[in-house]
């Protein structure tokens, strides 16, 4: 490994891999540093009970323009283009079809108000209908989409994502995490369990101190999460205080997943969906038998995800089991077995799910994406203006940061383009 590379990349998630793919073949010496003992970051496909299960990103959002779709096709990964079951309700929770239509219309009306007449305060909750029947449902949706309650969501930020999204969502049977981790160019040197503890500017070099030694690079692409950048896990030069302040205005929300294995006889239909309780903002959302597999995925956002961190996975599985029993009958308890669960909130090198802008802070994404001293370049989903919170937004930001680093070094090095 070269301890004095031309460019060092901090973080081997979707953004770091995006940067590495752009830099491969550039003629520059590149080194990729990852704090975890694996690559992928918030893209993590775990194999459990013989099934590839995504604990992190799972859906190719805006798949018709998502760069990972093309990478998958070029790499020989199957892409499942069937419509998602997320918009269906297949559980017996006592609500009529008309009531579900009313709930969906409440969400659509709220979204339309954000786009057409955003609140002057930029607080997304202020676009809620006063005393509305579906406020808890909308808060649950906010938890799934943004990882936090509407009182802490920027209306402008949310509307920017919504306007850019194509609502085309596809899947990868092998797992999104599998695709992303398989996409790191073999020619890019990689160091795992190499958490950067301090960043220093040393003459013409950027010094990265790790427990395993010091790396001195001519330029650095930083892809750490906003919670890590704003927190105290790494020691930064004081000149980066404005970047860290911008990161604090783009906190990671809370989202977690639980997976149940289905065993024996059961009533579950492949590719179906049920919401636990539309009147509970902490409810689970259940995707049943994806790809026909014997598994149920429980997605928790906002308050529901924070409860996992506070109470542990065992309590979260118990609560999810209760909701599923309420939807499908008590007999399902005998055919469901807790399998695996995520723990993004308590992951010390990540600290949450994906970013959202606090009210009035959507421009913090622009601030965070700026280069520092033409030597430090910032990438990650939080730096993308419209595709934040996604693996493709992270990838595109990594490509952008790599271009910036190449341009900064171009006067001093011949670049093979």
Q: Give tens-digit pLDDT for 31-44.
A: 999 999 999 999 99
- Asked if the model's pLDDT at residue 414 lies above 50, the reply is no
- Span 242-259, pLDDT tens digits: 999 999 999 999 999 999
pLDDT of residue 389: 98
- Span 143-166, pLDDT tens digits: 999 999 999 999 999 999 999 999
- Asked if the model's pLDDT at residue 237 lies above 80, the reply is yes
- Span 285-328, pLDDT tens digits: 999 999 999 999 999 999 999 999 999 999 999 999 999 999 99
Q: Please name every residue paired with 214 in a beta bridge, in sequence order, or none if there are none.
A: 209
Number of Cβ within a 10 Å radius of residue 414: 9
What are the residues whose beta carbons fall under 8 Å from the beta carbon of 181, sequence distance 6 or more? 17, 38, 39, 40, 43, 45
Model confidence at 411, pLDDT cuts 50, 70, 90, reads low
Phi, psi of 403 (to 5 degrees): -60, -40
- Span 93-134, pLDDT tens digits: 678 888 999 999 999 999 999 999 999 999 999 999 998 999
Cα distance between residue 372 and residue 229, in whole Å:
14
Its pTM stands at 0.96
Mean pLDDT of 59-69: 98
- Asked if the model's pLDDT at residue 410 lies above 90, the reply is no
Mean pLDDT of 361-386: 98
pLDDT of residue 93: 67
pLDDT of residue 335: 96
pLDDT of residue 416: 39
Mean pLDDT of 56-79: 98
pLDDT of residue 96: 86
- Span 183-203, pLDDT tens digits: 999 999 999 999 999 999 988
Distance of CA 278 to the CA centre of its chain: 24
What is the chain's mean pLDDT, rounded?
A: 95
pLDDT of residue 412: 61
Cα distance between residue 118 and residue 202, in whole Å:
46
Of 84, 88, 106, give the one whose Cα is nearest residue 97: 88
Of the chain, the end-to-end C-alpha distance in Å amounts to 24
* H helices, E strands: number in the chain: 12, 17
- Span 210-236, pLDDT tens digits: 988 999 999 999 999 999 999 999 999
pLDDT of residue 95: 83
Of 413, 3, 406, 12, give the one whose Cα is nearest residue 202: 3
């Amino acid at each position: 490994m070269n301890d004095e590379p031309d460019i060092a990349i901090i973080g081997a998630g979707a953004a770091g891999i995006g940067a590495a793919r752009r830099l491969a073949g550039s003629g520059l010496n590149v080194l990729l540093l990852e704090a975890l003992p694996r690559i992928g970051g918030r893209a993590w496909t775990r194999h459990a009970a013989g099934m590839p299960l995504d604990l992190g990103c799972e859906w190719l959002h805006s798949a018709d323009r998502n760069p990972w779709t093309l990478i998958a096709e070029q790499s020989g990964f199957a892409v499942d283009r069937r419509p998602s079951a997320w918009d269906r309700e297949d559980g017996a929770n006592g609500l009529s079809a008309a009531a579900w239509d009313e709930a969906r219309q409440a969400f659509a009306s709220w979204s339309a108000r954000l786009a057409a007449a955003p609140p002057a305060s930029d607080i997304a909750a202020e676009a809620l209908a006063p005393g509305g029947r579906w406020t808890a449902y909308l808060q649950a949706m906010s938890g799934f989409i943004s990882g936090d309650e509407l009182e802490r969501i920027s209306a402008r930020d949310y509307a920017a994502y919504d306007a850019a999204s194509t609502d085309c969502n596809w899947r990868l049977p092998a797992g999104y995490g599998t695709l992303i981790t398989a996409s790191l160019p073999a020619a890019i040197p990689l160091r795992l369990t190499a958490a950067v503890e301090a960043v220093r500017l040393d003459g013409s070099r950027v010094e990265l101190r790790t427990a395993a030694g010091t790396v001195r690079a001519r330029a650095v692409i930083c892809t750490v999460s906003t919670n890590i950048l704003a927190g105290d896990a790494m020691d930064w030069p004081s000149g980066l205080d404005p970047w860290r302040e911008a990161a604090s205005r783009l906190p990671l929300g809370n989202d977690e997943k639980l997976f149940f294995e289905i065993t024996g006889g059961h009533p579950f239909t492949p590719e179906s969906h049920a919401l636990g309780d539309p009147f509970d903002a902490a409810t689970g959302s259940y995707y049943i038998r994806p790809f026909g597999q014997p598994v149920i995925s429980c997605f928790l956002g906002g308050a529901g995800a924070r409860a996992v961190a506070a109470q542990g996975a065992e309590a979260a599985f118990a609560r999810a089991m209760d909701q599923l029993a309420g939807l499908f009958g008590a007999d399902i308890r005998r055919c469901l077995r807790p399998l695996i669960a995520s723990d993004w909130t308590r992951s010390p090198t990540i600290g949450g799910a994906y970013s959202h802008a606090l009210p009035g802070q959507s421009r913090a994404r622009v601030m965070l994406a700026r280069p520092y001293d033409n030597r430090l370049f910032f990438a990650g989903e939080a730096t993308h203006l419209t595709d934040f919170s996604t693996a493709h937004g992270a990838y595109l930001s990594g490509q952008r940061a790599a271009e910036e680093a190449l341009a900064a070094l171009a006067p001093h090095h011949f670049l093979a383009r």
